[in-house]
Structure 1
Amino acid sequence: MSIEKILAISGKPGLYELKVQTRTGFVAESLIDGKKITVGLRNNVSLLTEISVYTYNEEVRLAEVFRAIAEKEDNGPAISHKEDNAKLEEYFREVLPEYDEDRVYVSDIKKIVNWYNLLQSKGLVSKETPAETATEAEAPEVTEAAEAKTEE
């Protein structure tokens, strides 16, 4: 999942990809229509990697929620964010059963589902976790390095 440079900008619809940092802010490109905008330092901007969802036990990273939706939908699109509130809450409970219903509002669920569908259409989310892929790729190298040290 490659959402490291994906931004949510307060007051602007959709999501944006960080393109270039400038001395007064940065340039971002809309994932919806591809238009580039300049964003000043006064705008409220959130990286998706820094957003978490409240559960009864802990906070779950948004990337993990997206992965859970991708698993449920087999990397396909989720339900529409325009569904009625009860259906959205039921769907989100299937994806993240322990979410804190007092602190996660329907408006948050709508935003998460909408963002997931946008990212899914661009191929930026999947049910594979990057940690698993990286560990599998690095494991043989670590083992070989450890064996080399043991032989010395």
Structure 2
Amino acid sequence: MEYGKIIAVTGLPGLYELVSSKSDGAIVRSLDDKSTRFVSSRVHNFSHLESIEIYTVRDNVNLADIFQAMQGSSEKLPDGKDNNALKKYFEKVYPDLDFERVYASDMKKMVKWLGILDANNVEIKLRELTEEPAEEAVAEAQKPEPVAEEPAKAPAKKAATKAAAKKEKPAEEKAEAAEKPKKKAAPKAKKEEADEEPAKKKAAPAKKAKK
């Protein structure tokens, strides 16, 4: 069991192994009774043990450092109900603790949690954070950025050419349209001749009627 997967859940006693995360909570397994359950993030908050820090008279230290000091000490774990015994124990095991800001309830939790971790054979070890190599980061930063000016000019010229072509086409079409009606003027003349011929033919019967 990995130390990085161990969490504390507000409102629930003991420690839990994070089985899987969901958008509205998480599925956790109790280190005490091994039961698995879903815990809603709307009701509870989750704290990874490896992300918890403890106040000291100097800089804050990770909770794992306190646990490792407790495991390496020959002092017997105190009774969690006795606040004086708790303070005396930590004064010997980790004297740099800031006892004005680290309360008896905090010390009680640390003693209880270490007992649960030891019972489950959890190796208290922080996961190594994977970082991008410095050389790759520098090389990435030194890459020349693509120049966007030349590609931007080419489309602009094409667009101008297309616009000019669109403007010229209507002018040519108008010129052709103006010429077409002139060619069609001949059929109109024929139509007028066709109208005149029936009139002449009808005039002949009128002369015969006078005889």
**TM-score > 0.5 by shorter chain:** yes
Determine if the alignment matches structure 1 residue 81 to structure 2 residue 84.
no
1:120 corresponds in structure 2 to 118
Secondary structure, aligned partner of 1:4: helix
**Alignment correspondent of 2:63:** 62
Q: Which has the larger radius of gyration?
A: 2
1:142 is matched with none
Unpaired runs of 5+ in structure 2? Answer: 129-211
**Which residue number corresponds to residue 3 of structure 2?**
3
Identity of aligned residues (%): 37
Deviations along 1:28-79, whole A, 9 cap, x unmatched? Answer: 00001011121222211111011111001111101111100110149xx733
Displacement of 1:130 in angstroms is 6.5
| Aligned equivalents of 1:2, 1:94: Cα separation in 2 | 28
Q: Alignment partner of 2:20: what SS? A: strand
Partner of 1:147: none
Tell me how far apart the structure 2 counterparts of residues 68 and 22 of structure 1 sit (CA, whole Å): 35
* Structure-to-structure mapping, 1:1-152, within 5 angstroms: 2-42=2-42, 43-73=44-74, 78-82=77-81, 84-125=82-123
Number of matched pairs: 127
Distance 1:95 1:125, change over 3 A: farther
SS at match of 2:58: coil
* TM-score, normalised via structure 2 length: 0.55
What is the alpha-carbon root mean square deviation over aligned residues?
2.2
- Bigger Cα displacement from structure 2, 53-62 vs 20-29: 20-29
Task: Give the letter aligned to residue 109 of structure 2.
Answer: K
Gaps of 5+ in 1: 135-152
Normalising to structure 1: TM-score of the pair?
Answer: 0.75
1:141 corresponding residue in structure 2: none
* SS in structure 1 at match of 2:3: coil
Q: Which runs of 4+ in 1 moved over 2 A?
A: 77-82
